[in-house]
Structure 1
Amino acid sequence: MKRWHLALALVLICSFLGAAARKPAAPIAARRQHSQTVHGVTLEDPWAWLADREAPQLAKVLKTEDKYATACLKDSKKLAQELFGEYKARIPSLEESPHALSNGYYYYNRQNMRQEHSVYYRRQNVADAPEELLMDVNKLAQGKRYFDLDIFSISPDNQLLAYSTDESGAEVYRLWIKDLKTGKARDLKLDYISDFVWQADSRHAFIILDNEIMRSNRCYRLDTASGELQLLYTEEDPAFNLGLYKWGDRERIFLSAGSKNDSEVWQIAWDDLSGSFLPIAGRQPNLKYSAAIHNGDMYFYTNRWNPDYSIGWCPLDACDYEGWQELIPSPQSYSLQDFTLFTDHIVVNYMYAGHNQLAIYDRHDARLLHEIIPAEPSDLGLWNNPHPSASGFNYYQESWLHPYQIFTHSFATHTDSLYYSAVLPPGYDPENYVSTSITYPATDGTLIPLTLIHKKELPPTPNPLWLNGYGAYGDVESPWFSRSRQSILDRGVIWAMAHVRGGGEMGQAWHDGGRMLNKKNSFTDFTAAVEYLIAQGITAPDRILIEGGSAGGLLMGAVTNLIPTRIKAVIADVPFVDVINTMLDEELPLTVGEYKEWGNPANPDEFHYMLSYSPYDNVRPSVYPQMLISSGWMDYRVGYWEGLKWAQKLRANNLGNSQIIYLLQKDEGHTGSAQRLQVFRNLAQSVAWGLYWIIPGRDK
């Protein structure tokens, strides 16, 4: 062999070995025999053992997964560092929340660019009142790998602060009471607290405690001084969860029990220190409602007359269920979201065609007086209106391109004044970007809303596309402003959201059209978005990334099974993909309460339908896209094992050479990290990985 041939051969061999070193073989955990038969169907699950936290080999599997993920992420590591720097540069040097007035004080928090958590303050509503430090969460979190604050409630006499903390990421919160005069906090040693409302004497409170599988099922009266508990109510139906709230007049506290389809509400005077909650209306099938009391009348937010809700009314002294009257119905094609009561007005938040707007009515005769319709699609809602006799009301607005703002609207003149505006990122100009709302046809002809966001000046098509989706629980994917999204847009990527059925953008019918025995509509709506965007020449299969988390991870899994070769990359965060095994296990926290969303596998028809789309059960030999799957070890909502098992099955069936990465965050739960910089690190890692695969011209 000639010397140059030998040299060339050595170069090629070294290049091949180098590439092999950069891309190690995907690990596949050992299979173990496991099967169960349901409705005559035998379900084989060789990776079921990975759900056992105590399994002797699990630690080794997770260590191997971590090593493989680290190797796969090397190619995008430099870009991840670049993105992390961009995210940090957009943090304001000092960021302050809006000042919310409550019981004679303004409450707010601040966070400087070096702090992971907020610092909470208040200032009395009098001239020249000094600022009071209430809590520095950074000090509470010091030395802890995870720390999150949930309940934050000031006593009626303004002397005590009730707060709850989670130090594991498992959403198990513990109650504390802080004396605001001395600064000392007492640990009440009450775990699993989910709700807290003070009573009038500033000593007693009503609380809700969760059980071990995170059902909010017990209501107590708590003596915060002695720690003594008095059980008031236990919810026996596992499909229901309890909650507490105050709405309308200050003198009433409401206890609610709610499932996916039904609800029941009780009320008690806030100064009643010995009585029990009194029922408002008995529990009735498919009746959802909440109640408020104002000026001797009771008002209802209810689906009694309309599945998209309306406002009901009755006099407080004659308010049995038969006496309810519909006061303000939802106009056709509108969905009523919530409302607030004032002395002479009712302000209603509606959704129309997936977009929020506000309407102001006369409280006495229900006449429509004024509407607030934003000029661009926005998340619009009522904000901190503590005084019914106020001359106006506060509302917030946020859009895809403009950050959070709060306005005060005058009842007399119907004009707005700006109360608060979030800080714009340095160098950001909304005029450099475009947000477009369009529709596309689903496979059955239904028009599906689609949001597209991009820079005004785009390179010639097809463009890289980052397509998001969720489509569950009737949740609305309302517009939100994102400082980090700018890094995607500035790299010539189109960011998109498909508002598929299963969400609530078009009311209850939109939710019903994508749940239970209609769930597959969510998936085909999303695949139709992919095909539409390709057909329009906007993007191409080798430039499409899809992303979704939790129930949106189910969407990602189902879509990946349906069109694996029409997308380049998938990001699935805490994905609910092992549908059958999860819904068969009634000991898991959310199973029973989710039957009305996904179905009950005890019902043969519902079982077979769920089995036909469950992502884990429908993995088949195919060429799969690049995939990044992440889970939280402390996640009680979607177990870490769902993504882990799914990754093994995908790799075992992958006919291509794509990377299928599983990332486990050891100190996090369903909602991710509670530390701001760690959130940015995690985000930079996943975004960099996604951009690496969909932006053309990179060496892959």
Structure 2
Amino acid sequence: MSQSISAPIAKKVPHILETHSEQRVDNYYWMRDDNRKDPEILAHLEAENEYLKAVMAPHDALKDQLFEEMKGRIVKDDSSVPVKDGKYWYMSEVAGDNEYAFHYRADNAEMQNKQLLLDVNELAASYEYYDIGDMAVSQNDELMAYSEDTDGRRIYKVKFINLENGEYLSDELENTEGQVVWANDNRTVFYVKKDLQTLLGFQVFRHVLGTPQSDDILVYEEQDRQFYMGLGKSRDDSQIYIYLAATETSEQWALDANNPEQAFELLCARLEGHEFGIDKFADQYFIVSNHQAKNFKLCTAKLEGIADMANWQTQIAHRDDVLIEGLELFNSHYIVTERCLGQTRFVVHDYQGSSHTLAFNDVCYSAQMGNNPEPESNSVRIHYSSLTTPSSVYECDLATGEKQCLKQQQVLGAFSADDYASERLHITVRDGVKVPVSLVYKKSLFKKDGTNPMLQYGYGAYGITIDPNFSSNTLSLLDRGFVYAIAHIRGSEMLGRQWYEQGKKAHKQNSFNDFEDVTRSLVEQGYADAHKIFASGGSAGGLLMGAVVNQAPELYLGVGCHVPFLDVLTTMLDESIPLTTNEYDEWGNPNNEADYQTIKAYSPYDNLKPQAYPHILVTTGLHDSQVQYWEPMKWVAKLRETKTTDSLLLFRTDMGAGHGGASGRFKRLEEIALEQAFFISLLKQAL
């Protein structure tokens, strides 16, 4: 890679931040522009983009080759498995080089005489970024609401279509969270409105079709800005719900869907530390709750007694070694999604007390409930894949457990699952805990002799578990001899709720130590060459990358750091920044001195120091709603002046995208190809 091109150097404007009688000087605080219009800031971001292009220019052919490989594995003309919802069957299709889907419905499973509901390609034609947030059809199947985001900030506009004639209604709802829930009168909808500064949904409005948004009725407003807000409907369509969730606390309100003019009533009040979810079916409620049950339990309650937990009847008790993750209700059965020893399983219960488990055979895999809108169905859709098994849709008989594969993702080219192998390891880290690790590699190129390059991925936050699923894009690395590893570090719920609790707030350091120790162990065990290790993570995983390169930069040749949360301390002290107040239970509240010191000890921006850093590729979106663009921008500027070697530091800002990166099925591949080209070119340089 060319070292003769000069990197952009940002000006320094000292800005003093004082907290708990302690001062920090932030020379790049000036890079924050909430309006994203400051010419100097935009010019600097563009200069960084140009610098990246210039440095990577010698590897454009490699990047293009990788892009074409990835694109060449994708079936251009493809469709989802039709799913029945009410009178109609619904499906989506992609075709040719189109970036987006066509959405259809028909009155039969064969999709004969299908009706086009939305052509997302046409809708997206005028925008650099486009995302459909929700599509919701009225109870009588005659109207459809959909929401769109055209800049990546996750601020959605809702529009309405008459499905009988294809004409748009005059109604448009601005500045929403994206969800739309229909009342059963087919003329009333509920939506969540956002605070445009914090980007938090905090108000629920009722809208009647044919009236202006200015006449909409505020039916609920949340005063505590630590809570996220969402909407939903009961499994039997009789109630509309408002879900309120802070990191560790829940609350739920309900409304009779047949009487939308009535007021929402409190279903179960918030109690600090109590997380739950309630669904209604027929004459009772089903509750998944962690009250005196760290890994959650399943309870039921009669309709009139739900508010008092004393009336809840335990159906599945708490277990120390099994985490309850979800519930799906059917007329004849209910299915509980559980996680045991890191693996997902689905336990099918009938209402008379019998049960059976839907099992899968891979050593490590990813499985989730699919779209199952019909409670009267005798079967359930499950989505399944593993590191070697392409994404598959199974239909499982509720009574017998018999599975039928309705569709498996087709991978074009020379792919054969038998050419690859996956493993699940449990690696003992520095405090004696065993961390699960999922691995995949190509059999013919792998030698357990410490010669293979390796890409290690991690996330480790919010209790989100990154299950090992199939990615046709990763094949480009595996086919070049890479081992791909997912470190299931603390901060996820891979091994239950305690696994999450041991990777958050005061225990956050465990996440970073786990990731580093996994790397060292995989090298020691011969899975990878110590000089050919790469790491990648995004969002909270970008924080992981930032902390790890501060603590153990010598472990990695190159690092991908995407939409990264890097300026943790300053962000968590500023309640005007989107999502800050919601995050206190995850990271701690630095207005408290103990939390301040904990965060300060690992915050990537605050802990940059003069040392040799690995080669790093940083990416972000100008309109990112989750992690603001200035966090990686500041971090890159400070790292440029801090690092002691000429290692590459490349920074790319997508000027038209948000937290999810580029929209469109092929455009996204360009970002992946860039990272892989970065890693492979470094590997060639190191050989």
AA aligned opposite 2:453: P
1:571 to 554, 557, 560: 560
Structure 1 contact 163–175 (Cα < 8 Å) conserved: yes
TM-score scaled to structure 2, two decimals? 0.95
Q: Distance in 1 between matches of 2:112 and 2:6?
A: 65
Inter-CA distance 499–23: structure 2 relative to 1 (3 Å threshold):
farther
2:371 partner SS:
coil
User: Does 1:383 find its partner at 2:370?
Assistant: yes
Could you say which residue in structure 2 is the equivalent of 1:252? 239
Matched, 1:88 2:53: no
1:670 aligned counterpart, secondary structure: coil
Q: CA deviation at 1:113?
A: 2.9
- Report 1:70-109 matches (<5 A): 70-109=53-92
- Separation in 2 of the partners of 1:531 and 1:412? 47
Q: Corresponding residue for 1:507? A: 496
Note the C-alpha offset of 1:546: 0.5
Shift of 1:22: 5.0
Counterpart pick for 2:313 among 295, 316, 325: 325
| Counterpart for residue 8 of structure 1 | none
2:50 maps to which residue?
A: 67
- Tell me, yes or no, if structure 1 residue 48 matches structure 2 residue 40: no
1:243 aligns with 2:243: no
Q: Would the aligned equivalents of 1:261 and 1:596 in 2 still touch at CA under 8 Å? A: yes
Structure 1 contact 541–565 (Cα < 8 Å) conserved = no
Q: CA deviation at 1:469?
A: 0.4
Query: How far has the Cα of 1:215 moved from its partner?
Result: 1.0
Query: Contact 1:347–1:358 at 8 Å: present in 2 too?
Result: yes
How far apart are 1:129 and its partner, in Å?
A: 4.9
Question: Per-residue displacement from partner, 1:583-621 (whole Å, max 9, x unpaired)?
Answer: 111001110000010110110000011001000100110
How far apart are the structure 1 equivalents of 2:420 and 2:551? 33
- What's the secondary structure of 1:165's corresponding residue? strand
Letter in 1 for 2:341: A
1:162 corresponds to which residue? 145
Aligned partners of 1:469 and 1:497 also within 8 Å:
yes
Tell me by how many angstroms 1:551 deviates.
0.4
Residues 345, 357 of structure 2: 8 Å contact kept: no
Contact 1:169-1:669 within 8 A present in 2 as well: yes
Question: What SS is found at the alignment partner of 1:221?
Answer: strand
Give distance in 2, aligned partners of 1:621 and 1:218.
47
Distance 1:555 1:319 in 2: 41
Q: Tell me the secondary structure at the aligned position of residue 445 of structure 2.
A: coil
* CA deviations over 1:193-218 (Å, ceiling 9, x no partner): 22211111111112111111211111
Amino acid of the residue matched to residue 565 of structure 2? F
Cα distance in 2 for partners of 1:379, 1:610 equals 32
Question: Is 1:551 matched with 2:551?
Answer: no
Are the structure 2 counterparts of residues 416 and 643 from structure 1 closer, same or farther at C-alpha, using a change threshold of 3 Å?
same
2:657 to 668, 674, 689: 668
Is 1:583–2:572 an aligned residue pair?
Answer: yes
In the alignment, does 2:109 pair up with 1:120?
no
Q: For residue 14 of structure 1, what is the aligned residue in structure 2?
A: none
The residue type equivalent to 1:283 in the other structure is: R
Structure 1 unmatched runs, 5+:
1-18
- Residues 409, 159 of structure 1: alpha-carbon distance in 2 compared, 3 angstrom cutoff: same
Q: Which residue of 2 aligns with 1:221?
A: 206
Matches within 5 A, 1:262-281: 262-281=249-268
Q: Secondary structure at the match of 2:472?
A: coil
2:8 counterpart of 1:23: no
Query: Shift of the alpha carbon at 1:629?
Result: 0.7
SS at match of 1:676: coil
Corresponding residue of 1:210: 194
Aligned CA distance change for structure 1 residues 459 and 418 (closer, same or farther; 3 Å): closer
> Which AA in structure 1 matches 2:233?
K
Taking the aligned partners of 1:127 and 1:658, their CA distance within structure 2 comes to 57
User: Is 1:341 aligned to residue 324 of structure 2?
Assistant: no
Shift of 1:126: 7.7
1:54 Cα shift? Answer: 5.1
| 1:240-285, Cα deviation, whole Å (9 max, x unpaired) | 1221112321212221111111111111221113211121122211
Q: Structure 1 stretches (4+) deviating beyond 4 angstroms?
A: 53-56, 126-129, 695-698
Name the aligned partner's letter for residue 364 of structure 1.
Q
Alpha-carbon deviation of 1:697? Answer: 6.4
Given residue 480 of structure 2, which amino acid in structure 1 is its aligned partner? Answer: R
Partner of 1:9: none
What are the superposed Cα offsets for residues 651-698 of structure 1, whole Å, 9 maximum, x if unpaired?
Answer: 111111111111111011000011222211121111111111135766
AA aligned opposite 1:604: E
Alpha-carbon separation, structure 2, partners of 1:459 and 1:410: 39
Do the aligned partners of 1:466 and 1:495 also contact (CA within 8 Å) in 2? yes
Q: Give the Cα–Cα distance (whole angstroms) in 2 for the partners of residues 381 and 531 of structure 1.
A: 32
What is the CA-CA distance between 1:340 and the residue it aligns to? 1.3
Query: Are residues 1:188 and 2:171 paired?
Result: yes
Q: Which moved more, 1:591-600 or 1:136-145?
A: 136-145
Equivalent residues in 2 for 1:432-443 (5 A)? Answer: 432-443=419-430
Once the two structures are superposed, what CA deviation does each residue of 1:507-553 show, in whole Å capped at 9, x if it has no partner?
11011101000000000001101111222232233201110001000
Using the alignment, how far apart are the partners of 1:60 and 1:254 within structure 2? 46
Do 2:234 and 2:279's aligned partners in 1 also have CA atoms closer than 8 Å? yes
Q: How does 1:230-629 map to 2 (within 5 A)?
A: 230-321=217-308, 322-365=310-353, 367-458=354-445, 460=447, 461-629=450-618
How many angstroms does 1:230 deviate by? 1.3
Q: Structure 1 residues 695 and 22 mapped into 2: Cα distance closer, same or farther (>3 Å)?
A: closer
| Identity %, equivalent residues | 29
Matched residue count? 678
Q: Which residue of 2 aligns with 1:15?
A: none
Counterpart code for 1:119: F
CA contact (8 A) 1:425 1:483 kept: no
1:391/1:411 contact within 8 Å kept: yes
**Structure 1 residue 128: Cα displacement:** 8.2
On the 8 A contact 1:32/1:49 being kept in 2, the answer is yes
- Give the secondary structure class of the aligned counterpart of 1:572: strand
Work out the CA distance in 1 between the residues paired with 2:211 and 2:253. 26
CA RMSD in angstroms, aligned pairs only: 1.8
Please tell me whether the aligned partners of residues 362 and 369 of structure 1 are also in contact (alpha carbons under 8 angstroms): no
Change (3 A) 1:146 1:380: same
- d(CA) in 2 for partners of 1:501, 1:148: 32
Shift of 1:140: 1.0
> Amino acid of the residue matched to residue 618 of structure 1?
N
- Residue 628 of structure 1: how far off its partner (Å): 0.5
Distance 2:26 2:91 in 1: 51
Letter in 2 for 1:466: L
The question of whether the paired residues in 2 share the 8 Å contact of 1:544 and 1:694 is answered with no
SS in 2 for 1:541: coil
In the superposition, the TM-score normalised over structure 1's length comes to: 0.94
Is the 2:363–2:423 contact (alpha carbons within 8 Å) kept by the matching residues of 1? no
Question: CA shift at 1:506, angstroms?
Answer: 0.9
Matches within 5 A, 1:26-37: 26-37=7-18
Q: Distance in 1 between matches of 2:356 and 2:628?
A: 50
Tell me, yes or no, if the aligned pair for 1:465 and 1:694 is still in contact at 8 Å. no
For 2:4 and 2:553, locate their aligned partners in 1 and report how far apart those are by CA, in whole Å: 21
Q: Which moved more, 1:444-453 or 1:204-213?
A: 204-213
Kept in 1: contact 2:105–2:111 (CA 8 A): no
Moved more, 598-607 or 414-423: 414-423
Q: Which one of 122, 127, 148 corresponds to residue 144 of structure 1?
A: 127
Deviation at 1:393, TM superposition (A): 2.2
Alpha-carbon offset, residue 398 of structure 1: 1.6
Q: How many Å apart are 1:166 and its aligned residue?
A: 1.1
Task: Write the distance in 2 (CA, Å) between the matches of 1:600 and 1:458.
Answer: 48
Alignment partners' CA distance in 2, 1:302 and 1:268: 21
Bigger mean CA offset, 353-362 vs 660-669: 353-362
Distance 2:555 2:399 in 1: 56
